[in-house]
Amino acid sequence: MTNRCIFCRIIAGQAEASIVYRDEFVTAFMDIRPINPGHLLVVPNRHASNLGEVDDNVGGHMFVVGRKLASALRHSELRCDGVNLFVADGAVAGQTVFHSHLHVVPRRAGDGFGFHFPPGYTRGTSRADLDAVAAKVRAVLD
Ligand code: AMP
Ligand code: ZN
């Protein structure tokens, strides 16, 4: 718990939030600036600035709860034609609140949200390049 962290304060009941789900490991509440109505955040109860600091079991559980909430959104009366689950990990990845969290975003056709691709993005690359990159990632896996 850090006093300066808005998500820690929400979890401690010291800042207001519209809570949808809570268990021993995570809390889910409405994002204050929703992309669409129903936009939720799944947040570890214990402070972790980034994904690397989240315990493995809690990280896995964030996804379990994210799936449960995605299903709830699809079955709710909210409009939900699809769902994005995403994590911004690091400032350059778009993280603005440094208490790691999983976004659960209900999508509507034509809502205008989406990733944009950089200039020069190409849909394909050579198998040799893919294999070389795969080797670099494998080299540092535990
Ligand atoms: P990110 O940019 O991935 O770090 O996402 C942070 C999210 O937290 C943004 O979508 C904000 O709208 C949301 N947010 C910030 N402060 C609050 C708050 N007090 N209650 C609920 N959501 C918040
Ligand atoms: Zn925190």
15 Cα nearest atom in ligand 1:
19
Distance of CA 97 from the midpoint of ligand 1 (Å): 6
Domain spans in the chain, listed from the N-terminal domain onward: 6-116
Which of 102, 110, 108, 141 is CA-nearest to residue 36? 108
Residues with CB under 6 A from ligand 1: 6, 17, 31-33, 41, 88, 94-97
Q: What is the pTM of this model?
A: 0.96
Distance of CA 40 from the midpoint of ligand 1 (Å): 9
Residues of the chain with pLDDT under 50: none
Which of 70, 78, 64, 71 is CA-nearest to residue 111? 78
Ligand nearest to the CA of 47: 2
Reading the block at residue 54, the tokens are 């989240």
pLDDT at 68: 98
Tell the residue nearest (CA) to atom 20 of ligand 1. Answer: 32
Determine the Cα angle at 42 with ends 66 and 38, to 5°. Answer: 75
99 in catalytic set: no
Q: Among residues of the chain, what percentage have pLDDT more than 90?
A: 89
Eight-class DSSP state of 23: -
CATH topology assigned to domain 6-116: HIT family, subunit A (3.30.428)
